[in-house]
Amino acid sequence: MIIEVLKSKLHQATVTGANINYEGSISIDPFLYKKAGMFLHEKVDILNMNNGARFSTYIINGKESEICLNGAAARLVVAGDKVIIVAYTHIESKDAESWQPKIVILGESNSIKENIPKA
């Protein structure tokens, strides 16, 4: 059986901007999303820790330390909000016990505070 599991997560990212006048997506510093094992144009869920909003979008390249919601998603955040950015994958259920997602915990100015597993 195939199950869907957490693939990777950028935890406690700080929103640096919200641009309503854009087609849509989330601009993320490529260094950050690559460190979490995410990809350009990959679908991600955004979980807003400040207001509880949960929504999906896709990744585009941002500037250094940038986490900017664009288009309609910009209405669901304000600069300074803390968000969790998650991506999922499918695995065989027999592999679930040993599965390890990549988790990157962010700190001040979206700097990397911790990598899990350690990398």
Checking if the pLDDT of 117 tops 90, the result is: no
Catalytically annotated residues: 25, 58
pLDDT tens per residue across span 32-77: 999 999 999 999 999 999 999 999 999 999 999 999 999 999 999 9
Confidence of residue 24 (pLDDT cuts 50, 70, 90): confident
**Residue 5: strand pairing partners:** 89
**Which DSSP symbol is given to 101?**
-
By C-alpha distance, which of 57, 88, 79, 98 is closest to 13?
79
Write the CATH number for 73: 2.40.40.20
- The number of distinct structural domains making up the chain is 1
- pTM of whole model > 0.85? yes
Domain of 56 in residue numbering reads as 2-116
Q: What is the mean pLDDT of the chain?
A: 96
